[in-house]
């Protein structure tokens, strides 16, 4: 096995299995991951921080557990990366900004990192993002643009673009991202990775720089369904340190893989979800539905209004969160992000409260839809990856703003906290594009069963691109 | 409202919250705000009560 072959393209499950039986060591895996990042990341600019010393120390601890006959965990020695809004002990948390760098180094790891580490995984790097998660493109004015590993002239999507690109390029098998309006699912779609936005409150956000308190979620990105399930099972759980954390009983998702979709009621979501999907996005939904034997389409009312409400809530909450810093050091913000935050800070309270009322109404509408459906299917993004610098995209003859519209199919589900999983496919244009699966609150296991069926049928084509 | 009136309105709203909008950002802030008010119009005036602490 060559120096880089263990990590590059290998699944987390395989790496953990090799480490657990002593076929390789966690230290060797970490060393190779670090070398691979050093050698190959320059082309895509997915990584902003490398934690070499810490990674090797953590890996040696895993190896010591193996040597002593203990259980090193289901993710033993698996290297992973985190969006750079996650606190990493001893490191200044960037959140895609330079404003944050005046703060002291993080005193402890974010809760999600602690959970993956407890399962044996080793954090090796932090990844690029839109400043403060405000965007869908990862064209960051401070740290540069993250390029799509499948086509270096195209964006990786955002705001967890660095995490998606690092996974898609094979630098790490797993990464963590955050999702407010689609920021895990959008880059997963454009880069060809699996990405899960769990139910609101299912995974702790403690130790992350929040963007929109009432909408932010934390979740994993991976190259296989199995790896996504392994990481989600390690991440899920109640955390009193996150005020919105849920103590709802957890259903592990790894055991449901291979169970098939018998008994699940599936439907394609129409209306809004087909109106803002271009021909490429529409075709992958049809292909996925055909593979699953789905010929039913349902309309979810208020979805167009839900997107508008999500935008209003996002802007108002983010604007208010940043208002003190916008007053005192506006010049330190990314010029592409600053006007949007300022506009949000000026929104009338009446607009925000109306958006919250719409949110409640939409939750009721969707709850009724799930009375006779278990999993809804849509495209994840309206189209495949736009070019870097591209300002508008053509969707069914309409010119939509790239920076605001890539999340149009993802936003409604985040607004009401539903779990949603993006499955990678390849569009007719040869680029990755995701199919999105959505379920009722806490029904992540149903999503994994459908995603697993698509992977098993080779409908889900996983990215293997490497620059 | 023409651009000049719009600019005056935005600067007034900003002054009310002690925010200084840099001149180079004024047009972009106005455009963003117009977009957001457009979204608010799409939302309309729903009848449901808001959930003060949101849970799915």
pLDDT greater than 70 at residue A318: yes
Pick the catalytic residue from A83, A97, A163, A204.
A83
Buried b (16+ CB within 10 A) or exposed e, A107-120: eebbbbbbbbbebb
Pick the catalytic residue from A11, A46, A97, A159.
A159
pLDDT band at A464; cut points 50, 70, 90: low
- Nearest CA of chain A to the CA of B8: how many Å? 13
Query: Are A2 and A31 in contact, with CB atoms under 8 Å apart?
Result: no
Which pLDDT belongs to residue A100?
87
The pLDDT of A317-337, averaged and rounded, is: 96
Interchain contact, A312 vs B32, CB within 8 Å: no
Among A343, A361, A405, A407, the strongest candidate for a mutation testing the B interface, having the largest count of B CBs within 10 A, is: A343
Q: Residue A364: its chain B contacts at CB < 8 A?
A: 48
Give the C-alpha separation, A161 to A381, whole Å. 14
Residue A311: active-site member: no
Q: Residue B45: its chain A contacts at CB < 8 A?
A: 354, 357
The DSSP H or E segment spanning A322 is helix A303-329
Interface residue B22 vs chain A (CB under 8 A): yes
**DSSP of A33-46, one letter per residue?**
HHHHHHHHGGGT--
Choose the closest CB to B19 out of A342, A354, A356. Answer: A342
Query: Are A352 and A312 in contact, with CB atoms under 8 Å apart?
Result: yes
Which pLDDT belongs to residue B50?
62
pLDDT band at A9; cut points 50, 70, 90: confident
CA neighbours closer than 13 Å in the CB half-sphere of residue A360: 15
Interface residue A22 vs chain B (CB under 8 A): no
Interface residue B8 vs chain A (CB under 8 A): no
Question: What six digits make up the tokens of A182?
Answer: 């689609």
The pLDDT of A313-339, averaged and rounded, is: 96
**So what's the ipTM on this one?**
0.90
Interface residue A312 vs chain B (CB under 8 A): yes
Interchain contact, B33 vs A346, CB within 8 Å: yes
Q: Residue B51: its chain A contacts at CB < 8 A?
A: 356, 359-360, 363
**What are the tens digits of pLDDT across the range A39-65?**
999 999 999 999 999 999 999 999 999
Which pLDDT belongs to residue B31?
95
Q: Residue A339: its chain B contacts at CB < 8 A?
A: 25, 28-29, 31-32
pLDDT greater than 70 at residue A348: yes
Nearest CA in chain B to A358: B46
pLDDT band at A94; cut points 50, 70, 90: very high
A330-349 residues touching B, CB cutoff 8 A: 330-331, 335, 338-340, 342-348
Q: Residue A304: its chain B contacts at CB < 8 A?
A: 42
Q: Which residue has the tokens 């010049």?
A: A331
Which pLDDT belongs to residue B1?
56
Which pLDDT belongs to residue A2?
45
Mean pLDDT of chain A: 95
Interchain contact, B43 vs A326, CB within 8 Å: no
**DSSP of A220-252, one letter per residue?**
EEESSHHHHHHHHHHHBS--TTSTT---PPP--
Give the C-alpha separation, B16 to B18, whole Å. 6
Interchain contact, A354 vs B43, CB within 8 Å: yes
Interface residue A292 vs chain B (CB under 8 A): no
The pLDDT of A411-418, averaged and rounded, is: 98
Interchain contact, B29 vs A441, CB within 8 Å: no
Residue A11: active-site member: no
Nearest CA in chain A to B33: A343
pLDDT greater than 80 at residue B48: no
For A253-257, A449-453, B5-9, which range has the lowest pLDDT when averaged over its residues? B5-9
**What are the tens digits of pLDDT across the range B1-40?**
577 888 999 999 999 999 999 999 999 999 999 999 999 9
Who has greater pLDDT, A438 or A6?
A438
The pLDDT of A74-98, averaged and rounded, is: 98
Q: Residue A353: its chain B contacts at CB < 8 A?
A: 50
pLDDT greater than 90 at residue A166: yes
Query: Are A355 and A250 in contact, with CB atoms under 8 Å apart?
Result: no
Which pLDDT belongs to residue A222?
97
Give the C-alpha separation, A399 to A58, whole Å. 49
A366-425 residues touching B, CB cutoff 8 A: 404, 416-418
pLDDT band at A467; cut points 50, 70, 90: low
Query: Are A40 and A48 in contact, with CB atoms under 8 Å apart?
Result: no
Three-state DSSP class for residue B15: helix
CA neighbours closer than 13 Å in the CB half-sphere of residue B55: 9
Give the C-alpha separation, A445 to A454, whole Å. 14
From the list A413, A417, A415, A358, the residue with the least C-alpha distance to A380 is A413
Residue A465: active-site member: no
The pLDDT of A294-315, averaged and rounded, is: 97
Three-state DSSP class for residue A253: coil
Q: Residue A242: its chain B contacts at CB < 8 A?
A: none
Pick the catalytic residue from A46, A183, A204, A384.
A183
**What are the tens digits of pLDDT across the range A368-396?**
999 999 999 999 999 999 999 999 999 99
Choose the closest CB to B50 out of A315, A360, A441. Answer: A360
Interchain contact, A343 vs B19, CB within 8 Å: no
Choose the closest CB to A357 out of B18, B22, B50. Answer: B50
The DSSP H or E segment spanning A289 is helix A279-292
CB–CB contacts below 8 A, A to B:
122
**Crossing angle of the two packed helices A52-67 and A12-21, in degrees rounded to 10:** 50
């Amino acid at each position: 096995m060559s120096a880089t072959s263990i990590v590059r393209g290998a699944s987390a499950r395989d790496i953990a299995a090799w480490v657990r039986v002593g076929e390789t060591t966690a230290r060797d895996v970490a060393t190779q991951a670090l070398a691979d990042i050093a050698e190959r990341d320059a082309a895509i600019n997915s990584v902003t921080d490398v934690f070499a010393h810490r990674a090797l120390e953590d890996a040696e601890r895993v190896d010591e557990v193996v040597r002593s006959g203990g259980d090193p965990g289901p993710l033993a020695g698996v290297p992973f990366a985190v969006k750079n809004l996650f606190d990493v002990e001893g490191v200044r948390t960037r959140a895609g900004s330079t404003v944050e760098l005046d703060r002291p180094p993080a005193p402890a790891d974010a809760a999600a990192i602690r959970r993956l580490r407890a399962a044996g995984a080793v954090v090796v790097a932090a990844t690029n993002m839109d400043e403060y998660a405000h965007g869908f493109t990862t064209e960051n004015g401070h740290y540069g643009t993250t390029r799509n590993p499948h086509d270096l002239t195209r964006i990786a999507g955002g705001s967890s673009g660095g995490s998606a690109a690092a996974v898609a390029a094979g630098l790490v098998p797993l990464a963590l991202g955050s999702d407010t309006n689609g920021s895990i699912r959008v880059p997963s779609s454009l880069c060809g990775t699996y990405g899960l936005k769990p139910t609101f409150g299912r995974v702790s956000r403690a130790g992350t720089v929040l963007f929109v308190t009432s909408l932010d979620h934390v979740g994993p990105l991976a190259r296989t369904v199995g790896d996504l399930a392994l990481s989600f099972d390690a991440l899920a759980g109640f955390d009193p340190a996150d005020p919105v954390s849920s103590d709802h009983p957890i259903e592990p998702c790894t055991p449901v893989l291979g169970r098939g979709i018998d008994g699940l009621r599936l439907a394609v979501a129409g209306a809004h979800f087909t109106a803002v999907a271009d021909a490429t996005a529409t075709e992958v939904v049809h292909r996925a539905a055909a593979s699953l034997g789905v010929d039913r389409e349902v309309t979810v009312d208020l979805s167009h209004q839900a997107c508008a409400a999500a935008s209003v809530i996002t802007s108002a909450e983010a604007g208010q969160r940043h208002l003190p810093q916008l007053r005192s050091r506006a010049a330190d913000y990314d010029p592409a992000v600053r006007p949007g935050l300022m506009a949000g800070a000026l929104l009338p309270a009446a607009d925000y409260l109306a958006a919250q009322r719409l949110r409640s109404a939409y939750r009721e509408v969707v709850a009724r839809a799930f009375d006779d459906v278990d999993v809804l299917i849509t495209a994840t993004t309206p189209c495949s990856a736009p070019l870097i610098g591209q300002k508008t995209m053509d969707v069914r003859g309409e010119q939509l703003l790239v920076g605001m519209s890539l999340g149009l199919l993802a936003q409604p589900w985040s607004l009401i906290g539903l779990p949603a999983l993006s499955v990678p496919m390849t569009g007719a244009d040869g680029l990755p594009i995701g199919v999105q699966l959505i379920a009722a609150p806490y029904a992540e296991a149903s999503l994994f069963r459908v995603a697993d069926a698509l992977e098993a049928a080779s409908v889900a084509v996983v990215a293997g691109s490497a620059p | 409202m023409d651009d000049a009136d719009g600019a005056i309105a935005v600067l007034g709203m900003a002054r009310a919250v002690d925010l200084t909008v840099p001149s180079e950002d004024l047009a972009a802030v106005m455009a963003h705000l117009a977009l957001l008010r457009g979204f608010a119009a799409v939302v309309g005036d729903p009848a449901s009560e808001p959930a003060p602490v949101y849970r799915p």
